[in-house]
Structure 1
Amino acid sequence: MSDTKPSSSAAIAIDVLETEAAGLHALAERFRDQAQAAAFERAVALVLAATGTGRPGRVVVSGIGKSGHVGNKLAASLASTGTPAFFVHPAEASHGDLGMITSDDVVLAVSYSGEGDELRAIAPLIKRLGAKMISLTGRPQSTLARLADVHLDGGIEREACPHNLAPTTSTTAAMALGDALVVALLHARKFSADDFARSHPGGSLGRRLLTYVRDVMRAGDDVPRVPAGASLGEAIVEMSRKGLGMTAVTRDDGSLEGIFTDGDLRRLLERTTDLRDVTLAQVMTRTPVSIAPDALAAEAARVMEDRRIQQLLVVDAGKVVGALNLNLLMAAKVI
């Protein structure tokens, strides 16, 4: 941050963002160093050795103050991406919660100074248990850095606070370095989007990744459909009765012949209001876009968006088995 006093709140915001961005850039450059990169690789290997398939270990994250808030977030991010993890407050650990840590675990200690009394008090006990420890500090010569099996250096040149006191750039750096560990472990585990959705079943992301077309489509008698020889009037009645803004046109064997939508009807009425001599075959869309029932509902939403359509027929082995529209996807909270 510059010594010149910013002239407005917006200028202060820009100064803070640039200061923290510079801190992250410097942190990334530091990890290009062979020794720093090797330390990060060891940290990833340590966690994988403890928490891999069939292993009982967890990552126990601990920190106090602002570092504790960072630690809470990192524990949640690890747990949601395939690495068993939870947060333990270091002060509570000194009053019984240390029993939550076993020799199979890896403790991730977050402290910018590396000298917090609460973490320093439990660090020797963690080592005595036989648990491994990774420290994330801003001071490589600190007590926690020296006691750890692996030290990750999250040091920054200065805080964004004008007094260089309030944790700002340092907590941003700790969060980013922790996120780097999270993502590196995610890659090492080959953690997929489906895996992520399974740990987020209640959220919008889980709905997008775990909801299939078959879960939201209309099926059976609820699918609007008329035979290939139906009249235009019959198609309009069916379309209105089923309320999806379209009807499938099917052959005798149930295979898809075409689709007639409310958009097709509007376009027809723009040309003529005399529908007596108009046949369904003349105005329906042949070989319409369709989707399989086992496709993700999110994919159906993407197809509709790309094709600028609001309805979609569901086809399996050439036969019409369902239908859906944007309203059904919205009701399912897929979009």
Structure 2
Amino acid sequence: MRQPLSTPSQLRESALRTLQIEQAAIGGLQAKLDESFDHACQLMLACQGRVVVTGMGKSGHIAGKIAATLASTGTPAFFVHPGEASHGDLGMITRADVVLALSNSGETAEVTALLPLLKRLGTPLVSMTGRPGSTLAQHSDAHLDSGVEREACPLDLAPTSSTTAALALGDALAVALLEARGFTAEDFALSHPGGSLGKRLLLRVSDLMHDGSRLPQVALGSPLRDALLEITRQGLGFTCVVDSEGRLAGVYTDGDLRRTLDQHHDLRDVQVDDVMTRPGKRIGPDILAAEAVRIMEDNRITALAVVDEQQRPIGALHMHDLLASGVI
């Protein structure tokens, strides 16, 4: 019977051995990449349907993650449990699909049971196993060798190094396909609209700006009192100042008010023209909200006027809107 680990140093030594073994397992995959990997990629790139990923037990968990990674990086994919596939879920697989099957031994009964059915359908099969001579590997159109010398488990029983290697090889496959498709960060955002990256790459100024009656603005020549009332009414910390043709001539902000108080003891005769910031920072409605964040941070301001092509104000954007939307 093995003696249990009892000291912190022994626990850390065990963890270090595990990481070293799994690091070596991943490193060993480099020499295994050959024309079969290229063929697997070509089958998936030519696929008119979906990449159907399957595996049993621990390999099944890895297969599910690979399917999710493929789907989020431009290769439509989903996971099918091999046991359920033999009991009806095989109907989810068509001849237009490509099947990626994981099995470290290459002999998993639930997975090999699918072989005759896949052959009858004519669905291309890519396998990922630790044994190139296994049943699954031999009946595949392309085989990816994920074999490892040993498991990190000291009993050499629990799938550890083998699942780590399979996961890394799945990532390598997904990234190769991503680059082959010319997949971009914006493409990634389209499949992650709820994430922070999606918000940064999908939300535009027009999605967040205050417009219509919520747009703070006064005309050139207005008394400073009118500008202050407009700032208070709209609550955005600034107001646009427009000329006779409705174009943005400048802005007046809370910061301008502090400077005005330093320079003028009597505000009753002050016009907004005399104290506004010219020409005022501005941005277009189709600009990414993330770019608006950069402009605000670079200029140490909290709001921007949004203008059309004729430089007429059509909206106002505040830092609070960007914070509330999750862009920052």
Q: Unaligned stretches of 5+ in structure 1?
A: 52-56
User: Which residue in the other structure is 1:274 paired with?
Assistant: 265
- Write the deviation string for residues 195-224 of structure 1: whole angstroms up to 9, x where unpaired: 333333444443433322112111122111
User: Which residue in the other structure is 1:333 paired with?
Assistant: 326
Identity of aligned residues (%): 57
Q: For 2:154 and 2:260, locate their aligned partners in 1 and report how far apart those are by CA, in whole Å.
A: 68
Letter in 2 for 1:174: A
- Write the deviation string for residues 256-300 of structure 1: whole angstroms up to 9, x where unpaired: 22222223334555x468353765445432233221111122322
Q: For 1:22 and 1:95, locate their aligned partners in 2 and report how far apart those are by CA, in whole Å.
A: 39
User: Which residue in the other structure is 1:26 paired with?
Assistant: 28
- Write the deviation string for residues 110-163 of structure 1: whole angstroms up to 9, x where unpaired: 112222121122223322321111111222222222211111122233333343
Matches within 5 A, 1:10-49: 12-27=14-29, 29-30=30-31, 36-49=33-46
* Match status 1:245 vs 2:237: yes
How many angstroms does 1:65 deviate by? Answer: 0.9
Letter in 2 for 1:274: H
User: Which residue in the other structure is 2:313 paired with?
Assistant: 320
Q: Which secondary structure does the structure 2 equivalent of 1:314 belong to?
A: strand
Alpha carbons of structure 1 residues 48 and 240: separation in structure 2 relative to 1, 3 Å: same
Alpha carbons of structure 1 residues 322 and 166: separation in structure 2 relative to 1, 3 Å: same
- Write the deviation string for residues 162-182 of structure 1: whole angstroms up to 9, x where unpaired: 434322332222122112222
User: Which residue in the other structure is 2:292 paired with?
Assistant: 300
Corresponding residue pairs, total? 321
Considering only aligned residues, what root-mean-square deviation do their CA atoms show, in Å?
2.6
- Check conservation: 2:40, 2:126, Cα contact below 8 A: yes
Q: Which secondary structure does the structure 1 equivalent of 2:127 belong to?
A: strand
How many angstroms does 1:6 deviate by? Answer: 6.9
User: Which residue in the other structure is 2:146 paired with?
Assistant: 154
Q: For 2:118 and 2:23, locate their aligned partners in 1 and report how far apart those are by CA, in whole Å.
A: 35
- Write the deviation string for residues 16-36 of structure 1: whole angstroms up to 9, x where unpaired: 444433433332x325xxxx2
- Write the deviation string for residues 81-104 of structure 1: whole angstroms up to 9, x where unpaired: 332322111111222222322222
Q: Unaligned stretches of 5+ in structure 2?
A: none
Alpha carbons of structure 1 residues 137 and 220: separation in structure 2 relative to 1, 3 Å: same
- Check conservation: 1:6, 1:12, Cα contact below 8 A: no
- Check conservation: 1:109, 1:133, Cα contact below 8 A: yes
1:210 to 202, 205, 214: 202
Matches within 5 A, 1:83-102: 83-102=75-94
Q: What TM-score comes out, normalization by structure 2 length? A: 0.86
Q: For 2:146 and 2:17, locate their aligned partners in 1 and report how far apart those are by CA, in whole Å.
A: 21
Q: For 2:165 and 2:301, locate their aligned partners in 1 and report how far apart those are by CA, in whole Å.
A: 45
Letter in 2 for 1:43: A
Q: Which secondary structure does the structure 2 equivalent of 1:151 belong to?
A: strand
Q: For 1:205 and 1:215, locate their aligned partners in 2 and report how far apart those are by CA, in whole Å.
A: 16
Letter in 2 for 1:154: S
Alpha carbons of structure 1 residues 226 and 93: separation in structure 2 relative to 1, 3 Å: same
User: Which residue in the other structure is 1:54 paired with?
Assistant: none
Letter in 1 for 2:31: R
- Check conservation: 2:303, 2:318, Cα contact below 8 A: yes
- Check conservation: 2:221, 2:271, Cα contact below 8 A: no
Q: What TM-score comes out, normalization by structure 1 length? A: 0.85
